[in-house]
Amino acid sequence: MFLILKYIAKLLKALSSEASPNQLAGGFVLGMIIGLTPVASMHNLLILILVIILKVNFGMVILSFLIFSGVAYLADPLFHNFGIWILELESMQATWTSMYDNELWAITKFYNTVVIGSFVSAVLLCIPMFPLTKISVVQYRKHIHEKLMKTKFAKALKGTKLYSIYQTVARVRG
C-alpha cells in the first residue's frame, strides 16, 4: 500500500513539474508495451532493462502497465487475430522462417500469434502515444494540476498519515 501510495505521490509530483514531459511519455509507452504484451516474454526483459537504465518515470511505467494490462486482457483475441494475419503474410514467410531458424529470434516467441500481434500493436501505438502523452502532460500542468490539487481527493490524500510519512522519508532521503 505504501509503495503504491509512494508512486502515486511521486507521479503527481512528477506530473506537476519535476520530470520532463519526455521522461513521462517514455515511461508511459514503455509501460504500455509491457502491459499489452505477455509479461513473461523475452522482449519485456529488454524493455525492463531500458526502464532501469533510461531516465524514464517509474511511476508512469507502473501506471501505464496497470492500465494496459487490463486492456490486454480484453484485447488478446484481437491480438491473436492480428498475429495470425501478420504470421500468414505471404511476403513475410521467408523472413519468418529464417528468424524461426535462428535461436536468438526464436526465444522471443515471435511466432506466437498473441506475442507478435500485441507487440506490433504496442509498437504502432507508441507512435501516437508518445507525442500525445507529452502534449497531455503540458496541458495537464497548464490547466488541470491546480484544479486537481484543490479537489477533495488530493486534499484527503495529502492529509493521510501515510502521505506525511512519505513526505518525511522523501525529505530525509533528499
Radius of gyration of the chain (CA): 19
Smallest separation (angstroms) from other proteins to the CB of 29: 17
Q: 118 with 79: CB under 8 angstroms? A: yes
Provide, rounded to whole angstroms, the least separation between the CB of residue 16 and other proteins.
22
- Helix, strand, or coil here: 54? coil
**Phi/psi of residue 109, nearest 5 degrees:** 60, 35
Alpha carbons 116 and 6: distance in angstroms, whole number: 34
Q: 166 exposed, middle or buried (CB, 10 Å; 0-12, 13-18, 19+)? A: middle
Chain centroid offset of residue 28 CA: 4
Minimum CB distance to other proteins smaller for 8 or for 42: 42
**Nearer Cβ to other proteins (109/141):** 109
Of 3, 2, 1, 68, which Cα lies nearest the Cα of 30?
Answer: 68
* DSSP state letter for 151: S
Distance in angstroms (rounded) separating the CA atoms of residues 102 and 68: 31
Give the shortest CB-52-to-other proteins separation in angstroms: 4
Nearer to other proteins, 111 or 140 (CB): 111
The CB-of-115 to other proteins minimum distance in angstroms stands at 7
Nearer to other proteins by Cβ, of 52 and 172: the residue is: 52
- The residues that touch other proteins, with contacts defined as CB under 8 A, are 49, 52-55, 76-77, 79-80, 83-84, 87, 93, 96-97, 100-101, 103, 106-107, 109, 111-115, 117
Q: From the CB of 99, what's the least distance to other proteins, in Å?
A: 8
Which residue, 92 or 135, is less far from other proteins as judged by CB? 92
